[in-house]
Amino acid sequence: MNLKEAELLFQAGALEVPVIKQHDAGEGWTVTLAGRHKLNPVLETARGQVRIFKRLDAAVGVLFETGFSEARIAR
């Protein structure tokens, strides 16, 4: 799902607490947005590829801008 879809689902109350995970070999961070939807739960770029954040604070910042007030960090 892309960021716009995530914003709409968040406003509809269809998303759970986001989970931020380290990407392969520590080369960045990915965001998973599970909930009541049938979309791919991983946050994607506009072109449909997995969005990889270089820094953890950038991933958290995007989630907070979307409206989330909390996020979980997983290894």
User: pLDDT, tens digit, for every residue of 3-46?
Assistant: 999 999 999 999 999 999 999 877 899 999 998 888 889 999 99
Residue located via tokens 């979307």: 66
Give helix 3-11 / helix 56-66 axis angle, nearest 10°: 50
Number of domains in the chain: 1
Provide the residue range defining the domain that includes 70: 3-74
pTM of the model: 0.86
